[in-house]
Structure 1
Amino acid sequence: ALRDNRIELIRASWHELSISISNVTLTDEGQYTCSLFTMPVKTSKAFLTVLGVPEKPQIFGFTKPVMEGDKMTLTCKTSGSKPAASVRWFKNDKEVKNVVNDQKEDTNGKTFTVTSTMDFQVDRFDDGAALSCRVYHESFNHTPQIAMQVLEVHYTPSVKIIPSNIIPQERQDLTLTCESKGKPVPEPVLWTKDGGELPDPDRMVVNGRILTISVLNKTDNGTYRCEATNAIGQSSADYNLFVH
């Protein structure tokens, strides 16, 4: 008969004999036999399968911040599953398919360690993306365990000039807005005309990212450049002004 402090007899009658097992471990797996001592003895057998619950997954190889264009190799690992757990990667809520999965038997000879490796090249649109490793197992009742990391991507500025008027005319005012996006946030922009300083500071006023040219005339014709710089690099955009 079973003798274990975790095993308790909860009902005993002529018709039924019931036991409970607390703090179930993998060693409790096996065949259990109930015997009725008649002549001859009658028995009934059942095999108890114990699931190994996977440990909370961990992500290795993550760095923050990461530079645009860098290649990242991330590994997700979970141990102690029986049968072996299933591991899947997601970027935001979209599953990533190009992954390599591997499983190895743990030293106890009963459970498994599962690893999943994902390679990808980072671009600026990945900034703020949530990378999650999700572990699925029948012991979780369809709710996976999740490990998550949020990407912080640093990249050179992108620059665009937006004019206030598509067809600039004499004696009008013109506003040129320099839109610059980058991470870290770009420093204040630099405006130039034809490769040099702005020639008429009385009429050409810079306020932050905005260049305002008052009372246009034909001498204002030329190429205006906006340059934006951050710790990663520098970018620029040109606007060719032709005063009608």
Structure 2
Amino acid sequence: MKQKGFFYSYGEVPGLGILAVNELEGWQRVNLYGFGVDVDVIQKAIEDGCEADLLARGRLASRPAQSRVVIAGGVVFKGLTCLAGDGVGAEELLAELERGLPPFHALGAGEMEKTEDISPMRVYVFTYVGKVIGVSKVVFFEYATQVSLVGIYRDQDRNLVDELYTGLSSLRHFLTIPNPLRTDDRDQRVEVNMFMIRHPVKEELQGDFVRALIGVPGLVFYSFV
């Protein structure tokens, strides 16, 4: 299995993607990941827009479908899988999605900039030591404000997610609970792991928490331009 991660934007909302190639079984996929409502919007846009054309031309082998859903504490992290047609590469299918779905765009390095602040009204992408990729979002509940980090990683990078969780656990004094809440799952469609780390933050310490979060070693947040 060959896997290549990337970031994308759909309008003003960023997400994660994987180009997956299984030479043994002979298939290639584009998988898209993001917070639940954002992935639902993309799936509906594909259905209403370019899906019929891509199926008719054999660029898609089947209708895009949700590949894995992780739900914890009111936060939803979803994967959407797009199976390429016979003889169509994952990168080719990604380009077809960009052409057929104008708000959708795979982000290049020059289209992202490191941010030193996090607005509660925006979704950001992040990397951890350049190998683990994810998206972050502030989720408001009646009883708490929760900063959620969700992401994907390869089997060989599991130790890095453990390391990231340890680093985030050092911020426990900002939380309403003893430690951040972690949930892990696996998307078998492309053999990639999914994680969710949630931080219920004390209301009076939200600003201090954000500043401390950005200072976690190896963790870098980006906005796109």
Larger radius of gyration: 1
The structure with more strand, counted as a fraction of residues: 1
Global fold match (TM > 0.5): no
Q: Which has the higher contact order (CA 8 A, sep 6+)?
A: 2
Output the TM-score relative to the length of structure 2.
Answer: 0.29
Output the TM-score relative to the length of structure 1.
Answer: 0.27
The structure with more helix, counted as a fraction of residues: 2
